[in-house]
Amino acid sequence: MDIKIKRALISVSDKTGVVEFAKELTAMGAVIISTGGTAKTLTHAGLKVTSIDAVTGFPEMMDGRVKTLHPKIHGGLLALRDKPDHAAAMKQHNIEPIDLVCVNLYPFEQTVAKPGCLFEEAIENIDIGGPSMVRSSAKNHLYVTIVTSPAQYPQVLAELKAKNGSTGLELRKHLAREAFELTASYDAAISNYLSAQAGEIFPQRLSVSLRKDQELRYGENPHQKGAFYRLPDAKEVSVGTANLLAGGTPISFNNLMDANAAFELVKEFDEPAAVVVKHMNPCGCAVDTDIMKAYEKAYLGDVVSAFGGIVAINQNINKDLATVIMESYARFGKARGAAGFFAEVIIAPSYDADAVQTIRTLKEWGQRVRLMETGPISRDVVDRGQRDIRCIVGGLLVQERDLVGWQPEKLTYPTKTKPTPQQMEDLRIAWLTAKHVKSNTITLVRDKRLVGVGAGQMNRVESGMIAVKLAGDLAEGAALGSDAFFPFPDNVENAARARIACVIQPGGSKKDDEVVACADKHGIAMVFTGTRHFYH
């Protein structure tokens, strides 16, 4: 059923394109009703506008808090026009139907995102009349067209022109769905803000407000559909806020998961650092004073697993570094047994223009690689209020993010042998890397380079054996990191056989004394962190 647009109510905070939209409606014969600042904007543009108080018979009052909450507005929106008693009520109370409502809401999210936003300012930017009109119009989409964003103007105008000033039911249904999505998201933002102000980490009802950024080719597997939704108020530098540079194959669900794993690890380091991730686990991680050297060391961590991996860098990528990344196999990997190299994603704070050109043209695979640019990494902007949410069938598990990093002031040294300053550097990297590896986790680091990883095994001994096998001769003198305590001395015995020099682990086992005694027997230095980093 098509509905002719005879009367349109326009009241917008975002005035982008509203004058042009109103002019088109007027040209098609619609009467424009408007409020406050919108009415001034339209009048100034030379449009004839009927003020809201001329419709309601009441002036706008209380600093604009009360203007559209009136039966002559909501009666005109909610009336079922084919229902005799509704039509009789409209006639009795002199209510005229409103066919189109164009409303966007007070900018609550933008307001609270501003540094130094006062609570009172936030409250004043909670829209009441706007969501009420949106909901009324969307509920009665059988008769009313609800427009909630300037992005919808072209679609609506195209339909009006095609249908001689009318809209069809399918469009009205579509706009109504988007309207209810908007009000749900808006209420969620308010709820989350008020919960945060009250210090509520886990409110009784959890509201999550997300905006679809893009549909993906598929989910983890081709038979699963997938999409990426962005947190609208995210401020922390991350994969979620990164820009995808032009070119490359469209990014996938797995690319985003792996890129997040890589970038969150590389963010742990202040000094130049590089990370290579494959299937959510780092196969390479290194730090150095020279980012070129850091990347080389990270790639050499596991040249076989690096094939088809994710490269994360915490520095700008210039042409020289881009060249080294693209030529990784020829420069370093061929002699180490790699079959080849390409990266699915390269993520960094920034790229020089000639670096992007080098990546795109130096090797054939460079045309396909996704390049993500995040902007400068800042430890001063960490979203501590953002929750870590995991899905299980039938519900969600919600927790605080694990933001505990390197805490030298909390370390204890239970063994007779103490780590050297150089070993402490390797222990730091082993510990921070272990935090980002799937449990059970053992990491081996030597000379500031990850040389072995045991990830996701059902027992910690097996993880240790895998890490030692991958490290080979480089296990000798290495630092071992464990994401959780050793329940038995067996991992220490295995470490001693591999001539590992030092160990960092949380401590806290009932058999800590036996574990420490074993380390003392073999002259291994051990450090307790007092913190566990399970990562399931």
Cis preceding linkage at 491, omega within 30 = no
Q: Record the tokens describing residue 146, joined without a space.
A: 């609800």
Q: Quote the DSSP letter at residue 475.
A: G
Out of 4, 279, 293, 511, which one is annotated catalytic? Answer: 279
Chain centre distance of CA 302: 29
d(C-alpha 505, C-alpha 499), whole Å: 17
> What stretch of H or E contains 14?
none
d(C-alpha 214, C-alpha 229), whole Å: 7
**How many Cα atoms occupy the beta-carbon half-sphere of 456 within 13 Å?**
8
Tell me the Ramachandran region of residue 156: left when phi exceeds 0, alpha when psi lies from -120 to 50, beta otherwise. alpha
- State how far the alpha carbon of 138 is from the alpha carbons of 7, 38, 85, 210, 286, in Å: 16, 21, 21, 20, 55
d(C-alpha 282, C-alpha 270), whole Å: 18
End-to-end CA distance of the chain: 53
User: In the annotation, is 139 catalytic?
Assistant: yes
Q: CA torsion 51→54→57→63, rounded to 10°?
A: 20
Out of 15, 139, 334, 511, which one is annotated catalytic? Answer: 139
DSSP string, 282-350: EEEEEE-SSHHHHHHHHHTT-TTTTTTEEEEESS-B-HHHHHHHHTHIIIIIGGGT-----EEEEEES-
Catalytic residue positions, numbered: 139, 279
